[in-house]
Structure 1
Amino acid sequence: MAGLSTLATQLLDGSVEVIDLTAPLHPGTPILALPPEFGQTATFELEEISRYDDRGPAWYWNNFRTGEHTGTHFDAPNHWVTGKDLDDVSQVPPGRLVGPAVVIDKTAEVAENPDYLLSVADIQKWEAGHGPLPGGAWLIYRTGWSARGGDPAAFANADDQGSHTPGLTPDAARHLAATEILGIGVETVGTDAGQAPGFDPPFPCHSMFLGANKYGLTQLSNVDRLPVTGAIVIAAPLPIVSGSGSPCRVLALVDRTT
């Protein structure tokens, strides 16, 4: 109890900072566009119900329409065929939505090469300096990509060869899926690289992470404000029954006294 009381005091006095890792959700929020032969997710739309008028004199509210995987969102295991018999987003235990965060920073490499892929060697180099990846942690892959979030074309970074955005090698995805981390958080539209449809297997993060009962957090922002270790990340998706994911608010708690 003393620990929670201390945390409450630290939140009030600002010695523990709450950082919002969530990108704003609006009609211009970038979405993942699939080849035209596949089904497409809906962009975010608000439909006004009333706004202090004859439809409702004292209240303002809206309906909204969008896809489960729009904006900053949570990938549940059943989002991918490898996890089709695992939890939907409403079934994810709440204790697995909160965990310590570790940050692997490859912003310099991605600035030189937008197709940069995090490798097993990168992960091992990080562990050599900071210790093994802790069990029950969120691995946050910092790439600087969220700086493009206000421009959907720059965010997609696509040409006739497809999208060019950073991700993981299949070997790195396989390696991390065998660890005890909760999942991976990225700044891009999805957990996989833009060129991942051509990987072996295709979309290795989705395939291996979700099949291993791990999770994905995408389109994170303000990742540059996180320490390499020491933060706590809280992911809060809507508990959509039978849902494969949900837009979510992702918050980080950071101790500013150290």
Structure 2
Amino acid sequence: MTSPYTAATAPGILGALGAALLDGSVEVVDLTAPLSAATPVLPLPPGMAPIPPFALEELARYDAAGGDISYQNGLHTGEHVGTHFDAPCHWITGIDHGDVASVPVDRLVAPAVVIDVTARVAEDPDFVLQVADLRAWEREHGGLPRGWLLVRSGWSSRGDDQAAFLNADETGPHTPGMSAECARWIAEETPVLGVGVETIGIDAGLAFAFEPPFPAHHHLLGAAKYGLTQLRNLDRLPVTGAVLVGAPLKIVHGSGSPVRALALVARG
């Protein structure tokens, strides 16, 4: 049966979008990893408080505790577990730029572009994005937008295996990220609102040894920009033209939050 909802019944841009969603000419792509007890969690160095893994505490399951009719759980997790949003106050450099509850909503729905570094990461898991890589991208595709820069590394293929996802040895985790110079350039020289990655965090695995340590956190959050991590399905997005919806929980005083990240993509 043909839907009665058309651009004519809901005129204007939003009506056209609604109609496109219904007829499939705009697809909603889920960029979110499943959140469960098996979700990889970043082990922190000794002396730092560990990140608690995700867990469900069953409170009621169609039994007397739920009046025989309801099912519900308690949630136990760190803010930075699974596909999650980094607010500026997650890092000391962003302490004055707000918690996750204060992020302006117009920054949670924004254009997204994708830079594909999968081939280089396949050759070197310690690959770090450089300013030259982004300048080359701009020469081919135009300037970076006031929106999200998504780094497609292929790392999400490891996302169901903690050991493979962390890829650690005695020298530390070996996962891709960005150089300190690149992080500073994105923070200070571009209109980008935030960076999204497939890895467990927005910094490279060996970024503890960079100067400054963890420069993506240091520079981006210090510039009131954001991070999205543990994204999936970036291979289903165009290089330009997608719209990202990344809405974290509105946690007062929160430094971050699990998020359901979605992308709107035109098809056909």
Question: Which residue, out of 24, 34, 45, partners 2:55?
Answer: 45
Q: Does residue 181 of structure 1 match 2:199?
A: no
Match of 1:86 in 2: 97
Match of 2:179 in 1: 169
Which aligned segments of 4 or more residues in structure 1 are displaced greater than 2 angstroms?
none
Alignment deviations for residues 150-193 of structure 1 (CA, whole Å, 9 cap, x no partner): 10000000000000000001111011001111110000000000
CA-CA distance at 1:83 after TM superposition = 0.5
Identity of aligned residues (%): 60
Question: Which residue, out of 30, 35, 39, partners 1:29?
Answer: 39
Q: Distance in 1 between matches of 2:96 and 2:220?
A: 14
**Partner secondary structure for residue 189 of structure 1:** coil
Q: Distance in 2 between matches of 1:15 and 1:50?
A: 41
**Partner secondary structure for residue 90 of structure 1:** helix
Question: Which residue, out of 234, 237, 243, partners 1:226?
Answer: 237
Alignment deviations for residues 68-119 of structure 1 (CA, whole Å, 9 cap, x no partner): 0000000000000001111100000100111111100000000000000000
Alignment deviations for residues 29-60 of structure 1 (CA, whole Å, 9 cap, x no partner): 01111112211110000011111112111111
Match of 1:152 in 2: 162
Q: Does residue 124 of structure 1 match 2:135?
A: yes
Question: Which residue, out of 247, 250, 256, partners 1:236?
Answer: 247
Aligned 8 A contact 2:107 2:147 in 1:
no
**Partner secondary structure for residue 58 of structure 1:** coil
Question: Which residue, out of 107, 110, 117, partners 1:106?
Answer: 117
Q: Distance in 2 between matches of 1:86 and 1:181?
A: 16
Aligned 8 A contact 2:126 2:174 in 1:
yes
Q: Distance in 2 between matches of 1:31 and 1:139?
A: 23
CA RMSD of superposed structures (Å): 0.7
In structure 2, give the amino acid aligned to 1:62. N
Q: How many residues align?
A: 256
Match of 2:30 in 1: 20
Q: Distance in 2 between matches of 1:98 and 1:87?
A: 18
In structure 2, give the amino acid aligned to 1:165. T
In structure 1, give the amino acid aligned to 2:26. V
In structure 2, stretches of 5+ residues that fail to align are: 1-10
Q: Distance in 2 between matches of 1:70 and 1:152?
A: 12
Q: Distance in 2 between matches of 1:87 and 1:253?
A: 27
Q: Distance in 2 between matches of 1:9 and 1:131?
A: 29
Aligned 8 A contact 2:114 2:152 in 1:
yes
Q: Does residue 65 of structure 1 match 2:50?
A: no
Query: With structure 1 as the length reference, what TM-score do the two structures score?
Result: 0.98
Match of 1:77 in 2: 88
Alignment deviations for residues 8-36 of structure 1 (CA, whole Å, 9 cap, x no partner): 01111111000000000000101111112
In structure 2, give the amino acid aligned to 1:160. E
